[in-house]
Structure 1
Amino acid sequence: MYLHRRQRRSPNWRISTVPVGAKTMKFLIAGLGSIGRRHLRNLRALGENDIILYRTHRSTLPEEELSGLPVETDLQAALAHKPDAVIVANPTALHLEVAIPAAQAGCHILLEKPISHSLARVDELERAAQGSGSRILVGFQFRFHPTLRQAAALLQEGRIGRVLSVRAHWGEYLPNWHPWEDFRQGYAARPDLGGGVVLTLCHPLDYLHWLVGKVETLWAMTAALHLNLPVEDTAEIGLRFANGALGSVHLDYNQRPPTHSLEIIGTEGTLRWDNRDGILHEYRAAENEWKIYSPPPAFERNEMFIEEMRHFLEVVRGAPPVCTLADGRYALQIALAAHESNRRGCAVRLTL
């Protein structure tokens, strides 16, 4: 699942139509909370309108934008419509209950992050996808952020030398995410739905793997410090990467104003990124100056989701996903290792 505020359309919101000659595709959306509805709007903006909804009718959002769409309350009945693709956007702990039957049916899948709350049935999903040819894109939308992509390119070019250390920080006040509902009842606050700050804000665990590499060892401390929730609201995670770099990740549900930032220190310079304005700063020691990379004019966060959905349409048509099920599994392994480290009070070694 993902968060939070209602979608706003920016002035340069790019609208695409279905490519000329492209096969019409049918989509099934499972889960109609904030992220499911964002995907619905983005599909429509990209010219895809053959959409079925699989619902439990537990959403706390208004019903108006869903009017006129076919609805099924039984998953097998929904899959009987033979959708080409399924978007899995229900609560984290329920993801695989939809994803596995969808993969068995041969549907291509956009699977929201984290892929599950445990590894228990991930092998089953992988076998189903391999058996049917289902392609799975995991919904880590920060892989589509333009300046994080720029950071990946700079690192690939060796612009700041060998990476020595990294720090990601994401703090955001949970009661402000969904002002229209009691935050204590949302998936992010409930252990039975796969909540807690480590799983819910696991994006840095994915993009650090993408940008820096595999994690060899981690330690973590987590705690419920402020919001009186049955899940952790704060986490500090230390990382040792297989390439020797060290890192840390701070996550919390408490910070006001919200902060989401990344710093990468190399032998020849530094990268600094701030989600607030989307700007990436690059310092190269040889030049003794900072260079600034800005996102496109009027960029806003839904552009990441639009690019993700545009890529998913390509995946459905045959392209390989840029964020695979294996990537989603690895991010989940890191998150679960953080919980294990906190529980045992020691460092945990990951399987590379």
Structure 2
Amino acid sequence: MKYLIAGLGSIGRRHFRNLIALGERDILLYRTYHSTLPDDELAGFPVVTDLESALSYQPQAVIVANPTALHLEVAIPAARAGCQILLEKPISHSMEGVSELARAVEQGGGQVLVGFQYRFHPSLIQASHYLKEGVIGRPLSIRAVYGEYLPNMHPWEDYRQSYSSRKDLGGGVILTLCHPLDTMRWMIGEVQELWAFVGKLNYMELNVEDTAEIGLRFATGAVGSLHLDYYQRPPAHYLVIVGDQGILRWNNANGVLQIYHADLGKMETFPPPRGFGRNDMFLAEMRHFMAVVRGEESPACTLEDGRKVLELALAAHESQNVGGLIKFL
């Protein structure tokens, strides 16, 4: 099976290493040499610098890991060529071209797995099962927080030049840290209404927002809120879901899931598997993608899931711009 990796920054390198760890060596690298990471580990693997040449090698699978604003420039031709695609999140920085990608996927006959790796966190998978089983009753509210100090995200590069801080590359805290929008949809369902306060509150030299407070109303009637920022130290990433029969809490810092049973007055604690580390999510994601490529599984996070998250992220900006509530049909 031939894999093409487009983009060799932090996430592209992670996927590269994980493919090798899982026994894959037929890997082609499509790059523009803008990465700020050293190239030593890439020695011996073929490199191409234009997409047409890359696709002429007829890869069965394409991993799109370049900057957000450039995703569809790779994904659409790859989809037309019939490739299976692992498309990093968010799928783009605007809705322009997203419908064209969907048509290209249908035309080419491949599938798209969107790279929301928290879909593969064992404690969150467990949480989704408990919610479906009604362990905390009917979910009434959900609160998520994801904050991290931007200069510490990629300490080997100037944060002001990273894609996360550049509007032209699809940066900003809402798009860069959009994982909770996917997790909240996964856990609770579709969003009907959204409002947001979005701004640049910190002193960092950015031309994008560093803060967002987003309110959500779900089709189930549940309400939610999400806080995102680029300045929390230490970083915070957690989730609290309140049901009419209990509470579910998850914290990324230790991977622990807690369930409070109101009828028993008892808290249960579920740690992740012994030895679990952050890369285990990405390994699980890659194993799943390899199974998708072989035709053994369907994507756990589809292109439509990615489109919905992008729609929510862009709606947060729209809400700030118009100063009002955004409703979804």
State the TM-score, normalized to the length of structure 1: 0.92
Distance 1:48 1:135 in 2: 20
Name the CA distance, whole Å, in 2 between partners of 1:124 and 1:303.
33
1: CA distance between counterparts of 2:44 and 2:328? 48
What is the match of residue 306 of structure 1? 283
Within 5 Å, give how 1:1-352 maps onto structure 2.
25-226=1-202, 227-318=204-295, 319-351=297-329
Distance 1:145 1:95 in 2: 24
SS in 2 for 1:262: strand
Deviations 1:84-108 (A, max 9, x none): 0000000000000000000011100
Note the C-alpha offset of 1:350: 1.6
Equivalence for 1:10: none
- Unmatched 5+ stretches in structure 1: 1-24
The amino acid across from 1:38 in the alignment is: R
Q: What code does the residue aligned with 1:238 have?
A: G
Task: Report the AA paired with residue 75 of structure 1.
Answer: L
Rounded Cα–Cα distance in structure 2 between residues aligned with 1:114 and 1:173: 20
1:184-218 per-residue CA deviation (whole Å, 9 max, x = no partner) reads 00000000000000000000000100000000000
Q: Which amino acid aligns with 1:60?
A: T
**Post-superposition shift, 1:287?**
1.1
**How far does residue 222 in structure 1 lie from its aligned partner after superposition?**
0.7
Query: How many residues are matched?
Result: 327
The answer to whether the 8 Å contact 2:64/2:88 transfers is yes
Question: What do residues 256-275 of structure 1 show as CA deviations (whole Å, max 9, x unaligned)?
Answer: 01010100000000001100
Partner of 1:3: none
Q: How far, CA to CA, are the matches of 1:250 and 1:147 in structure 2?
A: 21
| Distance in structure 2 (CA, Å) of the matches to 1:284 and 1:221 | 34
Gaps of 5+ in 2: none
CA RMSD for the aligned pairs? Answer: 0.5
1-side partners of 2:169 and 2:269: how far apart? Answer: 40
Instruction: State the Cα distance separating 1:134 from its structure 2 match.
Output: 1.0
Displacement of 1:286 in angstroms is: 1.1
Q: Give the C-alpha shift of residue 306 in structure 1.
A: 0.2
Distance 2:264 2:104 in 1: 52
CA–CA distance in structure 2, aligned partners of residues 55 and 188 of structure 1:
19
Matched-pair identity in %: 64
Whether the aligned pair in 1 keeps the contact of 2:160 and 2:205 (CA below 8 Å) is no
> Given the two structures, how large is their TM-score scaled by the length of structure 2?
0.99
C-alpha distance in structure 1 between counterparts of 2:109 and 2:100, whole Å: 14
Extract structure 1 runs of 4+ deviating beyond 2 A.
none
Q: Shift of residue 228 of structure 1? A: 3.0
> Aligned letter for 1:86?
V
CA deviation vs aligned residue, 1:17-39 (integer Å, no higher than 9, x gap): xxxxxxxx000000000000000
* Partner SS for 1:303: helix
